Structure formats: structure tokens, C-alpha cells
Amino acid sequence: MTELTEYLERKGIGFEVLTHERAFTGVAEARALGVDAHVVVKTVIVDTRDEHVAMVLPAEEHLDMKLVREVLDDPQAKLADEEEIVRDFAWCEPGALPPIAPLLGVDVVIDPSVPDTGPVLFAACRQTVSLKVEADDLFGHQPVQFSQISDVWSAARA
């Protein structure tokens, strides 16, 4: 987490550290923090022809792989497996990657349903620690692409 907080401090981005019970998913993180899942963003790694790409979306939503493949112009794009993620992002616990392109070293695609103003919360490399950051500060200081990549899930569809 030190590298993450140092990055935010260098960029002049204010943040609040929030500790909580262990959470393996974004929705569990939201529950542990007692907040709406829409303000918690998760980072999902996708494999393309020759590289990883990070997909960022609200915790309550699901990637639409058809949309992801269109955005990446790669009909073979697929979710990275956990072994790859553990190997390539060893500095973070599984399921706790922050949505920060320069730290991940990969391109980042953000779904437009991610709040662009107000606070967002995300895992801070640990399954028991999250950061609260203003969305416009976080995403305005890094190279990202905004594209529709999620299929909004609702109880009405279940």
C-alpha cells in the first residue's frame, strides 16, 4: 500500500484510509464499509493478444465480455486467471488491485457508470484496506479510457 499512497501524495490527491474486515469482492468491501456498492470500484484484469488491460467498474456491476472485446478490438480477450494476476501483480493481494494505471503498468478502461464526481472507494492492495478518493482527482491525473464495458445487474434480471 505504501507505493499506492506515495503515488497519490506525489500527485497531490487527497485520500482517506479505511480499514475493514477481509473482503474478497467489491460488493463484500462495500458491505464491510457500510456504503452503497455503486461508490466502490473494482479493478478486473483482462488478457488481450499480448498484454493485460485493467477494467474498472462499480462493484455491483459485471463485465460484459462482448463489450470488452469490442472496446479492445480483440475477439479473443478473456479474463486473466488468478495465477497470472498473483504472478504479475504480486505487490497486491488478489482482488485488491487499485484502479491506477501508472502503478499497474497497464492500460485502464473505466466504465462510464463509475461516478465521475464525489468520492469513490477502492481496494488498496489489501483485502482489509480501502481508500476513499474524489473521483475527478483520481481519474483526472492518469491516462485512462472511458468506454461501456459493464452489464448493469439488477434483481429484476435475476
CATH number at residue 52: 3.90.960.10
Determine the structural domain holding residue 40 and report its residue range. 2-148
Query: How far apart are the C-alpha atoms of 85 and 24, rounded to whole Å?
Result: 14
Tens digit of each residue's pLDDT, the chain (158 residues): 688 999 999 999 999 999 999 998 889 999 999 999 889 999 999 999 889 999 999 999 999 999 999 999 999 999 999 999 999 999 999 889 999 989 999 999 999 999 888 899 999 999 999 999 999 998 887 888 999 999 865 444 44
What residues form DSSP beta bridges with 41?
A: 58, 122
Query: How far apart are the C-alpha atoms of 17 and 105, rounded to whole Å?
Result: 23
pLDDT at 154 (0 to 100):
42
Number of folded domains that form the chain:
1
Using CA atoms, how far residue 143 sits from 64, 108, 109, 138, 139, in Å, is: 22, 8, 9, 11, 8
Residue 90: φ, ψ to 5°: -60, -20
Q: What is the pTM of this model?
A: 0.90
pLDDT at 153 (0 to 100):
52
Q: Please report whether residue 77 resides in a domain.
A: yes
Q: Please report whether residue 23 resides in a domain.
A: yes
Q: Please report whether residue 154 resides in a domain.
A: no
DSSP element (H, E) containing 101: helix 101-104
